[in-house]
Every structure is written in C-alpha cells, then in structure tokens.
Amino acid sequence: MELDLFIRYGPALLSGFGVTILCWLVGSIGGLVLGFLLACLYRFGPKALGWLIYIYVEIIRGTPFMIQLFILYYGGPYVGLVLSPMQAGILSFIIYGSPYFSEIFRSGFNAIPKGQIEAARCVGLSERRILMRIILPQMLVPTTAPLTNFFIILTKETAILSVVTVPELLYETQTMAAETFTFVEPFLVLSLFYWVLVIGTSWVGERVEARVTRHLRRV
C-alpha cells in the first residue's frame, strides 16, 4: 500500500466526502419528510389519493435509482427540463427515498391495534391528538430500526450520483483508481468513509431508539 497516494489525493477525497455527506443529509431528510406525508395521506386521505400514492410507491421503489437519475438528467433536456448535476442529484434522491420511508411508516401504523384508536375516538380525542399522542409515540418503536437501516442504505446510494458528475466520494476515488492503477487504496478509502457515516448513523439510531422505547422497559 502506498501512503503517499492518500496525501496526493487526500484533499480531493475529503471534499468528495463532504459532498457525499451534504447530498445524503439533504436527500434523506427530504425523503423522510416526503415519505411521512405520503404515509399519512395514504392512511387518512381519500381512497383515490391512496391509489395514486400506491402507484407512485410501486414505480419509484420498483426501479433502480441509477436509471431514474439517468433518465431525469440525460432525458430531461429533451422535454425542456435542464437541471444541474447537483439539482438533479438531490431532487432524484429525495424522490427515490420517499416510497421506502412511506412504507416504513405504514408498517408503524400497522403495529398499533385498531382498538386503541377506536377507544380514543370514543373518549372524544381529536384526530390530531390521536395522531400525536397515541399513534406517533407507538409507531416509532418498530420503525426506528428500519429507518436507521434505510438512512444507512442511502449513505451508499449517494455513490450513484457520480453518473451525473456530482463530485461525491466515489467520483473522487475513481480518479485515484484510474490514474494510479490501484484498487486496494481506493476501496479502503471508500469503506472507511462509509463506515464512519454508518457508525455515526447507528449511534444516533440507538439513542433515538432508547428514547422511544423507554416506556416499555421495566424498572
């Protein structure tokens, strides 16, 4: 292994890592919010809307991110939609993540016995209070771990943004690999950087989980 490679390519790799973190945070939090809205509309909205959401979820979730991004970025100009790499990257990232988040939240709704909601209605709680006080606190219990999972999956999906020249981590390691004809060093860099993100995300996930499952623990 050649350590001077890390010095030579260090600044580019670090800046790539920065772009990866930025795209990941903006894209995944955007996807989370959109996914939550979709799940709520699916659950509580009119039936026709539910069908539209269902179709959206199946289409976006069922097709590869690389192809979605490719079509948006390279096909968009034919219909007058010219986006910059960063715009296309973040927009498609938000859209790509949303159906997964929406399904995770739907599984959270499923975990709550219908009887509880009926009971809450009987005692005259408003729908808003039912959502905030009864559904949300309980649905976070089974969904925190899958949400953490999906945030972790998205860290690595950022690599796909390289196909539209977003200068993220993979894009930068490709330069190092192609110019120097090495492979151990670039893969090591990729693994270490992603692992740092994953460990950080798991740590946050565990803290959140400890908080939302506090009421279940026995003293």
Partner 1 sequence: MNKKLLGLVAAVGVSFGLATAAQADMLSDIKAKGKIVAATEMHYAPFDILKDGEYQGICHDLFTEVAKELGVEVEFLDLPWQSILPGLEAGKFDFVNAPVTITAERMSRYNFTLPIGNATVALAKKAGDDSISAPSDIAGKAVGSQKGSAQLEQLKAFSESLDTPADVREYVNIDEALSDLAAGRIQAVANSAPLMGYAAVQRAGLFEMVMPPFGDPKFFGWVAPGGEDSKTLVAAINDAILKMHEDGRLQAINEKWLGSNPELPTTMPDVK
Partner 2 sequence: MNFSFEVIWHNLPYLLAAARWTLLISLGGMAISLVWGIFLCAGRISRGSVIRSLARLYISFFRGVPLLVQLLMFYYMLPYVGLDLPAIAAAILAVGMCSAAYTAEILRGALQTIPAGQTEAAQALGIPTLSLWRRILVPQAIRIGLPSLVNELILLVKVSSLASVVGIGELTRISQNITGETYRPLEIFIAAAVIYFLINLVISGLGRLAEKRLEVG
Contact string (CB under 8 A) for partner 1, positions 36-65, x = contact: ------------------------------
Among candidates 42, 44, 37, which has minimal Cα distance to 53? 42
8 binds, among partner 2, partner 1, none (CB under 5 to 8 A by kind): none
15 contacts partner 1 (rule: CB under 8 A): no
Is residue 74 within 8 Å of 138, Cβ to Cβ?
A: no
- Supply the DSSP symbol for 73: I
Tell me the CA distances in angstroms from 193 to 17, 19, 145, 146, 155, one per residue in order: 7, 12, 22, 22, 10
When binding is defined by CB under 8 A, the residue of 32, 94, 95, 104 that contacts partner 2 is: 104
Tokens representing residue 89 in the block: 């990257």
Interaction of residue 148 with partner 2, rule CB under 8 A: yes
- For residues 16 and 171, the answer to whether their CB atoms sit within 8 Å is yes
Q: Contact, 156 vs 5, CB < 8 A?
A: no
Collapsing DSSP states into helix, strand and coil, what is residue 124?
Answer: coil
- Take residue 27 and report the two structure tokens written for it: 């894209």
Q: If binding means CB under 8 A, how many residues of this protein chain bind partner 1?
A: 24
Rounded CA-CA distance 211/219 in Å is 15
Specify the stretch interacting with partner 1 by CB under 8 A; choose among 17-25, 35-43, 111-119, 157-165: 157-165
Selection from 108, 102, 202 nearest residue 152 by Cα: 202
Q: Is 70 in the site for partner 1 (CB under 8 A)?
A: yes
**Which range binds partner 2 by CB under 8 A, 10-18, 81-89, 100-108, 120-128?**
100-108
**With CB under 8 A as the contact rule, which of the stretches 26-34, 42-50, 103-111, 174-182 interacts with partner 2?**
103-111
Residue 168 contact, options partner 1, partner 2, none, Cβ 5-8 Å cut-off depending on partner type = none
CB of 154 to partner 2, least distance (A): 11
Q: How many beta carbons lie within 10 A of that of residue 133, not counting itself?
A: 13
184 is an interface residue for partner 1 by CB under 8 A: yes
174 binds partner 1 (CB under 8 A): yes
According to the binding rule CB under 8 A, does residue 179 interact with partner 1? yes
Region of 26-34, 69-77, 141-149, 199-207 interacting with partner 1 (CB under 8 A) = 69-77
Contacting residues toward partner 1, per CB under 8 A: 1, 70, 74-78, 82, 162-165, 171, 174-184
